Amino acid sequence: MEHIIIIGGGGAGAALAHDLTLRGFEVSLFEKGELTSGTTGRHHGLLHSGARYAVHDRTAAVECIEENRILRTIAPQSLEQNDGLFVAVSPDDEAYGVSLLEACRASGINVKNLSADRARALEPALTSKVRSALQVPDATIDPWRLAMHFFATARQNGASLHPFCEIRGIDTRGGRVTGVEILDYRTGKTKRVKGDLVVNAAGAWAGRVAALAGIDVPIQPGPGVMIAVEGRVTNMVINRMRPAGEGDIIVPQRGLSILGTSLWLTDDPDDVALPEEHISRIIGNCSLMVPAVGEAPIRSAWSAARPLIRDTGAASPQQISRTFECYDHAVTHGVEGIISLLGGKATTVRAMAEKTADLICRKAGHTIPCRTRTTSLLSWRRFFSAPSGDGPSRRRA
């Protein structure tokens, strides 16, 4: 079978390596740092029900609820399946709740109207000012372990995974990509790897990878700030019942509460500044929903760059769709043998992989059905015992 080279060891690359090995392809994946060292590990850990997008981004909402259901069955050990609430604390919130309820139903998201009393019975830490709530099937993800489930399974099935290996060049001959040039930071050596097709799955860094082949892709890095505070004060995910904005979510994760998030646009995916004013605004907004998080000590604050698809027509950064797209550069730029996978989010990595692998099959003339919807993933722990196709064992380096 064809040899597919994946650039990027985040959630998208992990899910794609899994899908392609199940379909019988030979897979090599290269990541410049440790696996999941980019955006993947750093997201706030929400398994979206889709409700956050239902009103303004129906496509993303439908993708989310479908994948939400699938991930619960194929990787249950990486999820806390406790549902989520959208809470109204003002009359404006309640007005938005009317359209939210309708949009959730139209998107196929199970939603239940709760009185303020019922919401506070479920989650006693909610503000006494809560007016009403909607219950939706959100859940909490362990971001690293979910990605490692995909990597463990892909590796077991023969994928060759190479962390600490950065792409330095893309080789082409006669308008066709023939392979890549890789710098292995562990050996300090550069090597050439031949492949039949290269997939750019570098997320927010996809622009840099595509540029190596002289291709401009519409990637728009969109960093945001997240804050982990000490103490788990709710079990359900708490969202603000209003249009997507700053400080509208609290995700319980272990003994911590993760507060999110802000959004700005940048050209540099490594521009992950941590603006002090974002931290205070997010904490302020989140404590309007759950006052206890405003008093809790901060364990950590960090930023992560979302891999948005450029959309100059969006009214605000929050309105940019969170869907994903595969670009076959034979079609977009006349360069055969390279695909870029842009956009998407942790909740939808499996679907992103399916669509990309479908495209690869079409290009290669295969009709091999996708099996990732029903294939249970191996435990992340298996990553550390799976037989490795990565050459010399990592065990005794």
Partner 1 sequence: MKRKIRLKIRRHRPGIRTKPRFETFLLTVDTDSSVLDVLEMIQSGQDPTLLFRRSCHHSSCGTCGMLINGEARLACITRISELKRGIITLEPLPGFPLLGDLAVDMTPFYEDIGERWSYLRGAEERSGTKLPKGIKRFERFENCIECGCCVAACPVSGGESPFMGPAALAALNGELQKVEGEEIEPLLKQAGSERGERLCNRTLACSRVCPTSVYPARHILDLRTRLRGDGQKG
200, 220, 239, 253: which one contacts partner 1 (CB under 8 A)? 253
Which CB sits closer to partner 1, 31 or 328?
A: 31
Span from 55-63, 183-191, 240-248, 329-337 in contact with partner 1 (CB under 8 A):
183-191
The verdict on 113 binding partner 1 (CB under 8 A) reads no
Q: How far are the Cα atoms of 135, 183, 311, 319, 346 from residue 323, in angstroms, in the given order?
A: 23, 32, 12, 11, 11
> What is the residue whose two structure tokens read 């595509």?
210
Output the CA angle 244-249-251, nearest 5 degrees. Answer: 145
The verdict on 295 binding partner 1 (CB under 8 A) reads no
188, 334, 365, 369: which one contacts partner 1 (CB under 8 A)? 188
92, 280, 302, 376: which one contacts partner 1 (CB under 8 A)? 302
Q: Can you list the alpha helix ranges (DSSP code H) found in 87-240?
A: 91-107, 116-122, 143-156, 206-211
**Which residues in the 7-66 window bind partner 1 by CB under 8 A?**
33-34, 36-37, 40-42, 45
The verdict on 191 binding partner 1 (CB under 8 A) reads no
> What is the residue whose two structure tokens read 């995909």?
150
- The residue type of 111 is V
C-alpha span between 381 and 385 (Å, rounded): 7
| CB 175, min distance to partner 1, A | 31
| CB 274, min distance to partner 1, A | 8
Q: What DSSP state is assigned to residue 193?
A: E
> What is the residue whose two structure tokens read 């060759």?
160
Burial annotation 100-111 (CB, 10 A radius, 16+ → b, else e)? bbebbeebebeb
Partner residues linked to 56 by β-bridges: none
232, 363, 366, 373: which one contacts partner 1 (CB under 8 A)? 232
Site string for partner 1, 254-293 (x = CB under 8 A): xxx-x-----------x-----------------------
Which CB sits closer to partner 1, 60 or 227?
A: 227
Closest alpha carbon to 13 in 52, 40, 33: 40
The verdict on 207 binding partner 1 (CB under 8 A) reads no
C-alpha span between 294 and 286 (Å, rounded): 7
The verdict on 77 binding partner 1 (CB under 8 A) reads yes
- What radius of gyration do the chain's Cα atoms show? 21
The verdict on 395 binding partner 1 (CB under 8 A) reads yes
Site string for partner 1, 322-361 (x = CB under 8 A): ----------------------------------------
> What is the residue whose two structure tokens read 């191996």?
378
| CB 170, min distance to partner 1, A | 19
The verdict on 228 binding partner 1 (CB under 8 A) reads yes
187, 280, 316, 376: which one contacts partner 1 (CB under 8 A)? 187
121, 275, 316, 331: which one contacts partner 1 (CB under 8 A)? 121
Span from 55-63, 88-96, 119-127, 169-177 in contact with partner 1 (CB under 8 A):
119-127
Which CB sits closer to partner 1, 49 or 323?
A: 49
Q: What is the DSSP string of 3-42?
A: EEEEE--SHHHHHHHHHHHHTT-EEEEE-SSSTTTTTGGG
Number of residues this chain uses to bind partner 1 (CB under 8 A) = 59
C-alpha span between 203 and 224 (Å, rounded): 15
The verdict on 186 binding partner 1 (CB under 8 A) reads yes
Strand, coil or helix: 355? helix
Which CB sits closer to partner 1, 236 or 361?
A: 236
127, 172, 321, 379: which one contacts partner 1 (CB under 8 A)? 379
Span from 22-30, 204-212, 251-259, 313-321 in contact with partner 1 (CB under 8 A):
251-259
- Token pair belonging to 80: 């806390």
Which CB sits closer to partner 1, 60 or 161?
A: 161
C-alpha span between 92 and 110 (Å, rounded): 23
C-alpha span between 65 and 47 (Å, rounded): 9
The contacts of residue 227 (CB under 8 Å, 6+ apart) are: 258, 259, 260, 279, 282, 283, 298, 300, 301
Q: Are 122 and 142 in contact (CB under 8 A)?
A: no
Contact residues: partner 1, CB under 8 A: 33-34, 36-37, 40-42, 45, 77-78, 80-83, 112, 120-125, 135, 140, 142-145, 164, 166, 185-188, 226, 228, 232, 235-236, 252-256, 258, 270, 299-300, 302, 304, 378-379, 381-382, 384-385, 394-397
